[in-house]
Structure 1
Amino acid sequence: MNKTFIIEAVMLAVHGQLMLPVKPVTYLIPYTTIQELYELQTSDEPIMVHTEDDGFVKGMIGELIHFFEESFNKKKVEKALTMPWGKSPPLPINEHVILQIVNAIDNEAYGDHLDPIETELILTAMKEKAVILTDQMEFIDRIIEMAIPVETCDVEDFEFVVEDDNQV
């Protein structure tokens, strides 16, 4: 069975193992996180601690941007943007990974406690009844502290969760 995760686009560039799961997954990506890829690509601020890792991740960000800008994929992404909470048709990456873009809307439900992208991730998880996949432990801690009714998964546990049919 295909598992669905809510994720920021940059996570796919930073964590290459997410593109090679052992079982099929669908990643729902809020559109604003795709826009963030452009900012990260042009920023002088390093994404990773080590220079070689940073160069590799920025290269992967460039590949993701190129993927989303390909004519056929761009049309699918634009389809999601025609209405609030619209979802793109599936964008297959490989035999086990499908991306779908969500036109998530930040309604400021969590105000000062979470940034707009975090709010969009949470609202998308609620709407889609899917798990948030992140490497931001502080974000997971705030979700728990605020008793927000969504499931989260640390990227480090991803392979275990995908392999285990009883998880998530």
Structure 2
Amino acid sequence: MPRTLVTEAVMIAIYGQLLAPSAPVEYLLPYTTVVELYELQTSLDPLMESKHEDQHVKKKISQLLQYFEEPLNQKKIRRALQVPWALSSPILLSDLVSIRIVNALDTAALGDSFDPIETELLLTSQRFKTPLLTDQVEWISRILEAKVPVQIYDIDDFEYAVENNDFTES
């Protein structure tokens, strides 16, 4: 059974190790994080420090978006978007990696402490009792300060997250 983690679509594009785990992984991606990829793809603001890395990441974003736009994958995504909190059928990226799109809803349950995408990620993690994977240290601090009951892994602890199959709310 694959390890399930909640993350943003851009993380899949930025961090290659997410596509080469040591064991099967399924990522839950709120749909708004997929929509955000279109904005990041066309943004003039750099995503990475070096121009070379920035071009590479934008290329990976384009490839991921093209994959999501393939007819079968698009059908899976559209079907999930018909019902709040529905999950798409798995979208396979490799033998070890699959993605499920979540029709998450920002219910403002967490107040003004988090932006809408952060809220959707947190609510997805809570709803599906699945750990959250991020590279944003400042956001992790805010989650801990707000005492949001989710398990969080920093991107540097990705392999540990894959190997650790117990979900316990913090």
TM, length-normalised to structure 1: 0.96
Provide the C-alpha distance between the structure 2 equivalents of 1:83 and 1:9, rounded to a whole number of angstroms: 20
2:92 paired with 1:97: no
Provide the C-alpha distance between the structure 1 equivalents of 2:69 and 2:153, rounded to a whole number of angstroms: 29
The aligned residue for residue 161 of structure 1 is 161
Any unmatched runs of 5+ in structure 2? Answer: none
The aligned residue for residue 2 of structure 1 is 2
4+ residue runs of structure 1 moved beyond 4 angstroms?
Answer: 164-168
The aligned residue for residue 81 of structure 1 is 81
The aligned residue for residue 48 of structure 1 is 48
The aligned residue for residue 70 of structure 2 is 70
Once superposed, what is the RMSD of the aligned Cα atoms?
A: 1.2
- How many residues are matched? 168
Shift of 1:111: 2.2
Aligned partner of 2:116: which letter?
P
Secondary structure of the structure 1 residue equivalent to 2:88? coil
Report which stretch shifted further, 154-163 or 129-138. Answer: 154-163
Provide the C-alpha distance between the structure 2 equivalents of 1:85 and 1:165, rounded to a whole number of angstroms: 23
Secondary structure of the structure 1 residue equivalent to 2:86? coil
Contact kept? 1:9, 1:33, Cα under 8 Å: yes
Contact kept? 1:29, 1:101, Cα under 8 Å: yes
Provide the C-alpha distance between the structure 2 equivalents of 1:107 and 1:155, rounded to a whole number of angstroms: 26
The aligned residue for residue 14 of structure 2 is 14
Shift of 1:20: 0.5
Shift of 1:163: 3.1
Any unmatched runs of 5+ in structure 1? Answer: none
The aligned residue for residue 132 of structure 1 is 132
The aligned residue for residue 26 of structure 1 is 26
Provide the C-alpha distance between the structure 1 equivalents of 2:100 and 2:55, rounded to a whole number of angstroms: 26
Shift of 1:84: 0.5
Contact kept? 1:5, 1:27, Cα under 8 Å: yes
**% same residue:** 49
Shift of 1:166: 5.8
Shift of 1:2: 1.4
TM, length-normalised to structure 2: 0.95
2:61 paired with 1:61: yes
Contact kept? 2:129, 2:167, Cα under 8 Å: no
Distance 1:33 1:53, change over 3 A: same
Secondary structure of the structure 2 residue equivalent to 1:87? coil
The aligned residue for residue 35 of structure 2 is 35
Secondary structure of the structure 2 residue equivalent to 1:4? strand
The aligned residue for residue 109 of structure 2 is 109
Provide the C-alpha distance between the structure 2 equivalents of 1:6 and 1:166, rounded to a whole number of angstroms: 15
The aligned residue for residue 145 of structure 2 is 145
